[in-house]
Each structure stands twice: as C-alpha cells, then as structure tokens.
Amino acid sequence: MARRTKTLTGNDNLAGYVFIMPWLVGFLAFIIVPMISSLYFSFSKYDLLSIPRFIGFSNYIRMFFQDGKYWVSLRVTFTYVLAGVPLRLAFALFVAILLNKRYKLIGFYRVVFYLPSLLGGSVAIAVMWRQLFGLDGALNSFLQLLGIEETISWIGDPSTALWSLILLHTWQFGSSMLIFFAGLKGIPATYYEAAIVDGANAWQKFIRITIPLLSPVIFFNLVMQTINGFRAFTQAYIVTGGGPINSTLFYALYVYRRAFEYFEMGYGSALAWILLFIIGVFTALIFKSSPGWVYYESKDKF
Amino acid sequence: MDIDFGLSSKRLISLSYQICMLSLAFLMAYPILWLISSSFKNESEIFLTAHSLIPKAWTPSNYPNGWRGFGGYSFATYFRNSFIIAILATAGVVMSSAVVAYGFARIRFAGKRIWFICMMLSMMLPFQVIMIPQYVIFHRLKWVNTFNPLIVPSFLGQAFFIFMIMQFIRSIPSELDESAIIDGCTKYGIFIRIIVPLVKPALVTVSIFSFYWRWNDFLGPLLYLHRPKLYPVSIALKLFADPNSLTNWGYMFAMAALSLIPVLLVFFIFQRHISEGISTTGLKG
Amino acid sequence: MKSKVMLLSIALVTISAFCGYSSGKQDTTAAEQQKITLRFGWWGNQTRNERTLKVLDNYTEANPHVTFEPEYSNFSGHWEKLAADAAASSMPDLIQMDGRARYLKRYADKGLLEPLDKYIKDGIIDTSTTVEAALAPGRVDGDLYGYNLGTNALVVIYDPEIYGSAGVAEPAVGWTWQDLEHGSQKIHDALGIYGSDTLGANQFLYFIRTRGKHILADDGKTLGYDDDGIAIEYFSMLLRWNEAGLTPPLAEVTGKPLEDRAIIHKKAPSYWTWSNLIVAVTKAAGRPLAMGILPGPGVEKGMFLKPSMSIAVSSGSKAKVEAAKFLDWFVNSFECNKVLLADRGVAVSSKLREEMGPLLGLEQKQMFDFIDLVAKHSSPWDKPDPNTSEVENLSTEFIEQVLFKKLAPEEAAKQFRTQASEILTRE
C-alpha cells in the first residue's frame, strides 16, 4: 500500500519518458537541430546560397541601433497582440457561453460562428477582405446606410489598415470558441444545479462557477493566442503585404522579407530569436500569474 | 395583476435575442456569402459588382472550369491528396498528443520541466527561420516528393495540442487516479481507462483543429511536394493567381468555396461529440 | 554528466547537418546518359501552365530520351522552393528566372547557375537571329546566365476613346510630363474621371534615367544621382496630381489586383505598367486599348528594354547539354512558340518574331510593335545589383509617405538618400 502511494507521488522516470517518447523523438529529430542552426545563423551572415559566415553580434547591433523598420514592426506587432488577443478571447468566451445551451438552431449557429476561422490563409480571403474594407466595400456601404458620408478605404489608409487586420483576427474567433466549448462541457451540470438551489443568479454562476472551472482553458487560450499573435504572418502577407507605409509590417513578415526577399537569413534568424525571447517573457509572465487565478481540479503542482 | 401588453416581456427578450443572434450570424457569414456569390459571378463582374451579393450573370460554369485544374490533374486529385494528408496527420496527432500530454500532466519524472520548456520554446520560434534547415533534414532522408514530412511528424505529437490536452487533463481531479491506483491500475491503465474518456471533448477539438490546419496548410506542401500530381487543394488554389497576367478569380473562388465543404462537414459531425460531455457526478459533490 | 552527453550529441548532430549545406558549385561528373529526366521549375497561371506542359510533351515526343518533371507553382512559392532547393543542393535543371536580376544575379554570383556562353559557342544554343542587346541583361560579370524569354518595357496603357472624347492628344514619342499633366487635367474636367492612374517606383526609376542618371551608382555604394532635386521634382509632381484629383488616392489603389484597376472600370484613362500585361489588361477591360511610350524629355535615355523573365540552367544539373538543347528549342523554335503564343513576352529572336506574326492576336501584335518602337528609342538597362530591389522598395515607401502627406517631398528625398545609403553601404 505504501509502495503504491509512493509511485503516485514520487518520480516514475520510466513511465514519464515512455509517455513523452513520441514528442521527444520528433523534437530531437526534426526540431532541435533546425532551432540550434537558426541560432547559429543569427550570429552569421547567411544568404541561403552559400555557407554561413560567423560575424558575432553584428546582426543584433544592427537590429537595435540601425534598423528603423525593426521598431516599426515591433510597434505594429505589439498593437496587434495587445488589441487583438483580448478582443478575440472576449468574443470567443462570450459566444461560447451564449451557445452553450440546447435550443433549436444551435448547431447552425455554431457552424456559422466557426465558419470564418476556416478560411485561413487562402488568397480568397485576401481579396474578400480588401473588397469589404475598400473604398466601395461593404463596410462603407453599411456606414452610408447609417448616414455616414465621409468614407475612406479602411484597408488602404495607413491609420486604419492595421485595425482592419485586427478585425480580421477577431472575426476568426471560432477556433478559440471551440476550445471554450470543450471546456464548458467539462463543467458538471450539478454545480450549476446546486448554485440555483442556493439562490445564485446568472452573473454569480458565471463568476463563481464558470470562470474558475474554465480557467485552465482560459489560461491555455491566453497563452496560445499570445504566442500566435506575436507570430502572426499570413494575414499581413496576403492581405496588405505589410503596407501601406509599413503600417501592417508584422514582425514575422519582416523576418520573412529579410530572409527570403533580401537573402539575409542570418539577420532574419536574429530577428526571430529576439521574438522568441519576447514571447518567452510574456508567456513566462502569464505562467507566473497563473497560480493567482487558474484553478486545477487535480490540484497538482506542476 | 399583470397587464397584458400583447407580447410578454420574456418573449420580447427571447425575440430580440434571436434577432441579435441572427444579425451577428449574418455579419459572421457575410464574407463567406460574398465568396460563394462571387464564385457564381462572371469574371468581369466580380470586381464591378463587389458590393452586391447577387450575381448579375449567373455563371455556374466557374465550377467545372475550375475543377479542371492544371495540366491534366483535376481537383479530384488535389482533393484526394488533401484528404490523405489531413486524415492521416489528424489520426496521428490525436493519439500521440494525448499520450504525451498525459506524461507531462500526470507523471513526475526527472527533466520534466526542461522538456516542457523546450516544447513551449519550439512553439515560439517563427517557422520562417527553421523551415530551411528542416527542409535540408527531410531532403537528406529522401522524403521530398512524398507525404512523409507532412504526416510523420504528426505521429510524434504537436506542441500546441499537447499543451491543450494537458490543460484538460489537469482539470480532472486526481482523486480519480488515486482510486484507480488503489484498485491496482498502472499509470498506463489510468491513461486508457480514465483519462482518455474524460478528455474526449478535447480530443474531438484536436481532431477538428488538426484537420483544418492540415487542410489549409500550404507551406509544407509547397516545400516538400514538387510534383504537381501530389499537390493538395491549398497549393492548387494559389496556382490560379499570377501577378503577371490574368487571374481566374471566378475559378479560384469556386474551388475555394468547394474546399470549405470537407472542413465544415468534419466540424459539423464532430462538434456534436463535444456536446456530449462526460459527467463526473459520481465523484464530485 | 547526462547534460554533458546531451550537449555533445546535439553538437555532433548540428555539425553533421552543416555538411549538407550548399557550398556553391558542384562538379558535373555524369556524362550525358541515354535516358534523362529534366526538372523544370516555373511560375504561372492556368494558361501558362497548360501551354508549357504541352510543349514539354511535344519535346518528349520529338526526343523520346528526354522526359520532364514539371514543377510549377505561384510566384512567391517558386522562390521559396528554389531557396530551399539551393540549401539542399538540389535545384531543378531548368529554372525560370526573373528579369530584374534580383534573383538571377544572386544565384549566379554564388555559382549556382551555369554560364551559357559555352553552349552558344558550341552551337547548341542558336543566337544568330538575336541581337546581343536583348541578351545583355542576362549577363552577370560578362557571363550569360539567364536567357531572355521575352522582352518587356515600361508602358502607359491607355484608352484612345476616352482621350478622343476629351479632345486630348494621345501619348506619342516626344510628349512631355507637361503634356501629360495638361491632358490629365482636361480629361478630369471634361469627363469627371481621373486624369491618369498612379505612378510608382518603376516610373521613378525611369524618371531618373531621363535625367541621365541611374538609381544606383556604378559601384553600387551610393545613389546614382547627386542632385536630390530630381527626386523632389518627381515626388512633388505626384503629390500635385494627387491633390488636384488627377490621380486616384493611394488608399484606393493599394493592393488592387489588375482586374480592379481604375482603367478597367473606366474611372481612369490609363494604366502605367509593363508591356507584357497588355493582353491581360485588354481582356479584363473588355475593350481595345493602346500602348504609349513614356513622356520625356529624355525619353531615349529613360526607356529601356528588359527581359520579362529568363530561363537558366543550374550548375548542379547532371544533364546540362540536354538542358541547353531544350533551352534552345524553347526560345527559338516555332513549333514550341506557336503553342506558347508569347505568353511570357515578346520573343528575342527576330526570325521567331516574324514567324509568329500571323499567329498573334491583336494585343500580342500591339505588344510586339510596341517593343519594336521602344527598341528605337531606348538605352541599355541599369546594371544589375542585388540591392536594387531593396532600394526600389524603399522609394515606394517614400512615395507612399509623400502621397499620404506624412512627409514633404524635400524631406522625403533627403531621408530616402540617407536610408538608401545605409542599405548600400551595409556589409
């Protein structure tokens, strides 16, 4: 009996490694070498067509002190993340709760709200978004219906282009919503029933039951959306191309440009590793804050 | 005494709720409706009448013309390739990610923190800077022009899904594990008998995600599939557009609209399984 | 101890991975084999893909020992793939290359492309009906790497009907920027549409050339013009037209595909672009259009002919002679080009152009005639430099800044010089 309890709480290296073996193999075979290679590239001049040449910290110095565009792309990306992530999560959570009932047409609504995220990075979505937010687009027609005559091209104007991309990002909240669904389903109905017996109203149910029990999933969505938000690439690449005037120059797009269009994979790698550092810091902060608000039923210590 | 205003306030709320939802749904669906309507428009009309959802000249021929594909390979070939990649990769990633997630979530072992951090780090590096070295590796393995680089790594877990399933597992009370151990279950048994059934919503979600990510992925196929007969739909769609000459927008929209169907079907079928949540009422409360 | 072992193995794996990196030239040891397969990579749309595939089949019919592995993709995908292939030392035998020397020069400099002069000398590639001037842009340091697949030039595509109904003289050799401005104003006043479509970096390049300078200096370390007045004049001109409503606002134009440009919707009388797009633009507009040479003064200095794209052979190819033979057939033979139908541009061989004459559609004939016209009023293209595209993109950014009123033309010209110098003097 004592021995069995020990295996539950003590180290079980064999089982641990057996279970994570698939990932470990993949990581060692396909991921770690490219990652370390790119770290090496970040300290070299590498144009993809010949051997990388070691140049020390030059790339990093150039990035921080000589590259104006770098700071532009940082600003653009931070704006995108700080505005887009909360917006998208809020919508996803709100709609997931709304659709967490059983009534007719629920399946239909779920599909409709999920549809946008299906379109991914197809060229079709680029054309569509440009059309919708262009000068003669649907948004302007809608505004004119409301009596607003003064219209601009939302996607062609440097002051609004980024927001149209943030809107695109928010519009595609379906995937985050899906994860919240799954989380909501894991909350036993008995909790709610007990709460009703105790006289709780909808808001109290939300705050005292839904949020805490959903917090591991909220945590997950927050971390992943932040990570992916910093790495956003496709929308800028296919819809605006980083313009106008670099107002939508996402960090990852800038990396791609320098690496592939200007054949500076070394510099691009340096940019990428700094991004990794930034994302790492943010993620670590979120992790550090988690004991304060994330509740695990399993009460385990990670 | 209740004064009857005709519509009771409850029904009014319910009605306005319905209207709200419908309007929101329309906003959500509008771009897709635009896509579908454009797919039935004549080439010359698409940009001319971009603000209208009704085609002036109904052109269903965009569909068979687009379906023709390129160089003798119709979209039947491209769809087939997409299905093979998406289905196999999804099957692999669900199984492997669940297994790895259990290891990280429930087992204590030496080096766990380090490996977990490695896994998180691997998600943070933009793919642009690792795609070339990765290509070199797969090239040395002679896997170019095969589906292997797109499918095999899925059987080795994917960080995003591993992390997600971990979070679901950690929502399961460890008392369940403990009682199973008392009943003589091993860690492996716990995994199969207890954890897997309880994270079914998460597994279903992983399937839906993985399917549509693989379905839409074009960078992997671009790099590793050089032979046009191996192209999936995601690549084929891009072939309609050329900056130096006319793009067949009508054909592209038609095929893009078609390519939405499998993903939608997968979602529609699977999402019901998310709804069937597992109750743990036996234990809680 | 364990971590040391881990570190060591990681180091070993990393080192061995580097052995796989491309180090430039590879020896061609294989002699021509009996049956060979040529990989041919290009970019294009449905039309080009289908026509090219057909000619590949035709070639195999005529030369049964040669089969092809076609590898086509979209434009950006093509370059991403090529970079990956270069890193893995497995480039296709035949590669469609650009005509801007952005990519061609880079790949040539690293020894990844095969110089074609030897095959010309040996008679495998026939250049007897092609003037050297047409091939010159494909040369890097004197060696020919990219064979011109179609000649291209800057053009203003315009609608003669609109010009006519506004009573404005059509563009012709010798017209000036002033003529353009007055004409645009007249069209704008008379018809209520834009007087012209927008101009950009390409026309800026041309503008500098008309003043006898180039965008980059010969040594590639500084801008090719010392007097910022040239840039200020150009930026101011664009700003002036924009403010007078003669050109569409930039916000309206950015990101619009060809099919959505103002000329298609009859909202502008012209479209400034490259000559090989006449076929596509006419088709999209659904009405006949004309091609005009750019305004002067200095039109002879400004205009230039360049390849729309070129074709190259990789230095790592194991079947170079066969690749060269195919290249010759691809660029010179009538059997091939009667199928391709000038989809990639105007052929460089005068004999081929003649043979193609009767087959050409109206727009293609227009294109051919236009190139003949430009040939008489042009001078050699700028020297290829790997930094050209970055500097050109930079100029686009500054034009945008001026047109969005973020910078005055003077300030823009100054900052452009500063930032361009930074790019050009970078290690």
pLDDT above 70 for C269: yes
Binding-face residues of A in 89-128 toward B, CB within 8 A:
98, 107, 109-125, 127-128
| CB nearest to C72's CB, from B72, B228, B244 | B228
Cβ of residue B48 closer than 8 Å to a chain A Cβ: no
| CB nearest to A241's CB, from C80, C250, C255 | C255
Residue whose token pair is 């050009």: C424
- Classified as helix, coil or strand, A209 is helix
pLDDT tens per residue across span C3-21? 454 444 445 544 444 443 4
pLDDT score of B57: 85
Cβ of residue B249 closer than 8 Å to a chain C Cβ: yes
B45, B136, B219, B248, best to mutate vs chain C, most C CBs in 10 Å: B136
pLDDT above 60 for C421: yes
Cα-to-chain-centroid distance, residue B176: 31
Confidence of residue C32 (pLDDT cuts 50, 70, 90): very low
Nearest 5 degrees, angle CA A263-CA A226-CA B212?
80
pLDDT above 80 for B7: no
Residue whose token pair is 């020390």: A56
pLDDT score of C187: 94
Amino acid in position C126? D
Please say whether the beta carbons of B274 and A181 come within 8 A.
yes
pLDDT above 50 for B282: no
- Residue B184 and residue B173: Cα distance in Å, rounded? 18
pLDDT score of A264: 92
Token representation of residue B162: 């591993």
Taking the CA of residue B60 and the nearest CA in chain C, the distance in Å comes to 19
pLDDT < 50 positions in chain A? 1-7
pLDDT score of C427: 66
pLDDT score of A302: 59
- Residue C414 and residue C427: Cα distance in Å, rounded? 22
What does the mean pLDDT of chain C come to?
Answer: 87
Short-list C395, C344, A169, C18, CA closest to B133: C18
User: What is the DSSP code string of A85-101?
Assistant: HHHHHHHHHHHHHHT-S
pLDDT tens per residue across span B51-107? 778 888 888 999 998 898 887 889 999 999 999 999 999 999 999 999 999 999 988
Confidence of residue B6 (pLDDT cuts 50, 70, 90): low
- Residue B181 and residue B60: Cα distance in Å, rounded? 62
Residue C347's Cβ-side half-sphere holds a number of Cα atoms within 13 Å equal to: 27
pLDDT tens per residue across span B223-280? 999 999 999 999 998 888 776 677 888 898 999 999 989 988 888 888 777 765 443 3
CB contact under 8 A, A260 and C23: no
Cβ of residue C53 closer than 8 Å to a chain B Cβ: yes
pLDDT score of A4: 47
Return the higher-pLDDT residue of B163 and B190: B163
pLDDT score of C179: 94
Amino acid in position C84? A
For A300, list phi and psi in degrees, rounded to 5. Answer: -90, 160
Cβ of residue A233 closer than 8 Å to a chain B Cβ: yes
Residue whose token pair is 């996402």: A250
pLDDT score of A79: 96
Q: What b/e string do you get for B139-163 counting C-beta neighbours within 10 Å, with b at 16 or more?
A: beeebbebbebbbbbbbbbbbbbbb
pLDDT tens per residue across span C204-242? 999 999 999 999 998 888 999 999 999 999 999 999 999
pLDDT score of C97: 92
pLDDT tens per residue across span B107-122? 889 999 999 999 999 9
Residue C277, C-beta contacts closer than 8 angstroms, at least 6 positions apart: B244, B245, C157, C258
Interface predicted TM-score of the whole assembly (ipTM), two decimals: 0.85
Residue whose token pair is 């709720």: B17
Is the N-terminal amide bond of A244 cis, ω within 30° of 0?
Answer: yes
CB contact under 8 A, A58 and C406: no
pLDDT above 90 for B47: no
pLDDT tens per residue across span C63-111? 999 999 999 988 888 999 999 999 889 999 999 998 776 788 889 988 9
Token representation of residue B231: 């192209």
C66-73/C36-43 β-pairing: parallel
The helix (H) or strand (E) run that includes residue B268 is: helix B249-275
Please say whether the beta carbons of C85 and C20 come within 8 A.
no
A201-205, B95-99, C58-62, C125-129: range with lowest mean pLDDT: A201-205
pLDDT above 90 for C135: no
Taking the CA of residue A144 and the nearest CA in chain C, the distance in Å comes to 17
pLDDT tens per residue across span B166-176? 988 888 888 88
pLDDT above 70 for C2: no
Nearest 5 degrees, angle CA B241-CA B243-CA B247?
35
Confidence of residue C61 (pLDDT cuts 50, 70, 90): very high
pLDDT score of C17: 44
Question: What average pLDDT score do residues C293-310 get?
Answer: 92
Short-list A164, A159, A158, A162, CA closest to A129: A164
Q: What b/e string do you get for B78-87 counting C-beta neighbours within 10 Å, with b at 16 or more?
A: bbebbbebbb
Token representation of residue C5: 């072992």
Set of chain A residues whose Cβ sits within 8 Å of the Cβ of B105: 298, 300
Token representation of residue C191: 């018809």
Set of chain B residues whose Cβ sits within 8 Å of the Cβ of A273: 125
B110-124, B207-221, C248-262: range with lowest mean pLDDT: C248-262
Residue B73's Cβ-side half-sphere holds a number of Cα atoms within 13 Å equal to: 21
Short-list B157, B186, C4, CA closest to A12: B186
pLDDT score of C137: 85
